[in-house]
């Protein structure tokens, strides 16, 4: 689980270079003609979106072991574990759909497929902030 989560960090950090490239293009317009500059900026942003897609694979893959641990722990509601494990498949389906089918991201189904991961991730954060972990005293 940790290896999958940590793999996405260097991918995401390296991917930020595309946003820095956009700043360079805007601050140094002499590199391109005025007609080519918007195209170059959009190309760099498309590269950035592609990098986010690659990182999202690892964002999704780590949810399965995390969801399994939540499900088996007994400290947190099992529904969050199920949502997190389903969210793993949602990330993978959305990545595969975006890669294989043009216009997939504009379909309404992509938002529905990512719903379990959103509910699981946000839900577990709110549960830990509001309700906390149900623990039993060790010494009685």
Q: pLDDT for 38-53, tens place per residue?
A: 999 999 999 999 999 9
Confidence of residue 138 (pLDDT cuts 50, 70, 90): low
E strands, 9-65, are none
What rounded mean pLDDT belongs to the chain? 89
Residue 121 has pLDDT above 70, yes or no: yes
Reported as a pLDDT band with limits 50, 70 and 90, residue 135 is low
Neighbour-count burial for 64-86, b at 16+ CB within 10 Å, e otherwise: bbbbbebbeeeebbeebbbbbbb
Can you read off the two tokens belonging to residue 129?
């902030």
CA end-to-end distance (rounded Å), the chain: 34
What's the rounded mean pLDDT across residues 64-88? Answer: 93
**pTM exceeding the 0.85 threshold for the entire prediction:** no
Whether residue 62 contacts residue 1, with contact meaning beta carbons closer than 8 Å, is answered with yes
Strand runs labelled E in 3-120: none
């Amino acid at each position: 689980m940790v290896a999958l989560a940590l793999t996405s960090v260097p991918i995401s950090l390296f991917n930020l270079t595309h946003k820095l490239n956009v700043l360079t293009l805007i601050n140094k317009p002499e590199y391109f003609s005025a007609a080519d500059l918007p195209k170059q900026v959009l190309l760099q942003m498309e590269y950035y979106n592609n990098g986010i897609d690659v990182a999202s694979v690892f964002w999704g893959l780590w949810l399965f072991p995390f969801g399994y641990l939540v499900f088996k722990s007994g400290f947190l509601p099992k529904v969050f574990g199920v949502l997190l494990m389903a969210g793993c498949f949602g990330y993978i389906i959305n990545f595969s759909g975006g890669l294989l089918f043009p216009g997939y991201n504009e379909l309404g189904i992509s938002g529905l497929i990512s719903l379990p991961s959103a509910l699981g991730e946000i839900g577990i954060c709110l549960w830990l902030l509001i309700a906390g972990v149900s623990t039993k005293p060790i010494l009685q």
